[in-house]
Amino acid sequence: MSFQSEIVQWYLKNKRDLPWRNTTDPYVIWLSEIILQQTRVEQGLPYFLKFLENFPTVAHFAAASEERVLKLWQGLGYYSRGRNMLHTAKYVMDEFGGTFPTSYQHLVKLKGVGSYTAAAISSFSSNERQAVVDGNVYRVLARYFGVEEPINSPKGQKLFAGLAQELIQDQQPSVYNQAMMEFGALHCKPKLPLCATCPIQAGCYAYKHQKVALLPLKLKAVKARKRWFNYFVGITDDEILAKQRKPGDVWQQLYDFPLIEMSQECAVDDAALLAKVKEMFGNAVALKVLESRKHALTHQTIYVQFFAIDNYIVNFNEHAEIKSVKITAFKQLPHPKIIGDFIEKHID
């Protein structure tokens, strides 16, 4: 039995029952694929169901506000995905009359849809013969065929794409692509792969040459940038100080608290921090540390301190980015996860 046949047979016996596998609707598949980018199925599934409930069609999605989309997205990370989805939904309504495209050539031009996602949607919705190559597929191909070119190098990506496209030629694309991804996710796992019960063990290069733990190869990532955020929580009666983050930085357009970013960790009595705090909130301001957290993102690590402030005065003309809003209204706005978690824990 061929490599492809073994993978498909394994899939038919072991596949998970996931809701987006029970449809050929390209809109629903698009929802699932974008939500699952950089996200485990277990984490993404509730978001998928929530989005589908709120936006059952692309027309419903296109009619939504950005704040509504980002609020539903809260906690999932990589918020640009939510913004891109809203842009794409509107584009589909304008350019395709509300009919979500199924061809790779149209899909790959949509905002937030790259070659992988376009291949997934086109193959799952219309059986277009486009090979999907995600992290799971890279791993299976690298180990079985002994490909030692880094998966994140231009040469490696071209090589893997060519190999994947060659292997799909005589297969049913919708089934074969799902099979490859599922096999990598459940069986040929990054750590502790199930080699002892692997149906393709006999032909696996990595297994034969004791390289399972070494493949696939990947170029080292750039060292993560470190940042120190100091948030100031000011509450008077039923209002709280808030601001919307600007474009061009992490969590753009989401809502958080007044912030002073420093080049290193600061204690509550740090002179440089206090000078900035008094400039923002007046000389009589009093500080109290509420909580410290570390928030790891793909390319940066953010060390966060939350301070309660009292006896503060804000010159809203000088600091126009800061607003005083009703706490109930603030809770309904989209926040970065670290802010949402803080609100849930500390603000009634």
* Residue 115 CB contacts under 8 Å (≥ 6 apart), including other chains: 108, 133, 161
Bridge-partner residues for 309, per DSSP? Answer: 287
| Same domain, residue pair 198 and 99 | yes
Q: What's the confidence (pLDDT) of residue 272?
A: 95
Is residue 98 in a domain?
A: yes
Distances (CA, A) of 100 to 112, 122, 248: 15, 11, 30
* Residue 194 CB contacts under 8 Å (≥ 6 apart), including other chains: 187, 188
Instruction: Give SS3 for 222.
Output: coil
H helical segments located in the chain? 3-14, 26-35, 41-54, 58-62, 66-73, 80-95, 104-107, 115-126, 135-145, 154-167, 173-186, 205-208, 271-281, 327-332, 337-346
CATH number at residue 292: 3.90.79.10
Is residue 251 in a domain?
A: yes
Number of domains composing the chain: 2
Backbone φ, ψ for residue 165 (5° rounding)? -70, -35
| Same domain, residue pair 111 and 198 | yes
Does 33 qualify as catalytic in the annotation? yes
List 6, 33, 128, 182, catalytic entry: 33
Q: What's the confidence (pLDDT) of residue 1?
A: 80
Q: State how far the Cα of 335 lies from the Cα of 180, in Å rounded to an integer.
A: 36
- Estimate the share of the chain in helix, then strand, then coil, as percent rounded to the nearest 5: 45, 15, 40
Q: Both tokens of residue 312?
A: 């503060």
Q: State how far the Cα of 315 lies from the Cα of 328, in Å rounded to an integer.
A: 23
Domain boundary at 139, 173, 208, which? Answer: 208
What is the number of other CB atoms lying within 10 angstroms of the CB of residue 14?
Answer: 12
pTM of the model: 0.85
Its domain, for residue 253, covers 225-346
Radius of gyration of the chain (CA): 24
Q: What's the confidence (pLDDT) of residue 148?
A: 95
Reported as a single tens digit per residue, the pLDDT across 292-301 is 999 998 889 9
| Same domain, residue pair 114 and 193 | yes
Is residue 111 in a domain?
A: yes
Cis? peptide before 216, omega within 30° of 0: yes
| Same domain, residue pair 40 and 128 | yes
Q: What is the distance between the terminal CA atoms of the chain, rounded to a whole angstrom? A: 62
Reported as a single tens digit per residue, the pLDDT across 325-341 is 999 999 999 999 999 99
Domain boundary at 208, 238, 253, which? Answer: 208
In tens digits, the chain (348 residues) has pLDDT values of: 899 999 999 999 999 999 999 999 999 999 999 999 988 999 999 999 999 999 999 999 999 999 999 999 999 988 999 999 999 999 999 999 999 999 999 999 999 999 999 999 999 999 999 999 999 999 999 999 999 999 999 999 999 999 999 999 999 999 999 999 999 999 999 999 999 999 999 999 999 999 999 999 999 877 889 999 999 999 999 999 999 999 989 999 999 999 999 999 999 999 999 999 999 999 999 999 999 999 998 889 999 999 999 999 999 999 999 999 999 999 999 999 999 999 999 998
Backbone φ, ψ for residue 27 (5° rounding)? -65, -45
| Same domain, residue pair 35 and 175 | yes
Q: What's the confidence (pLDDT) of residue 284?
A: 96
Q: What's the confidence (pLDDT) of residue 118?
A: 97
Nearest alpha carbon to residue 162 among 147, 172, 173 = 147
* Residue 48 CB contacts under 8 Å (≥ 6 apart), including other chains: 19, 20, 31, 32, 35, 36
Residue 228 parent element (H or E): strand 225-233
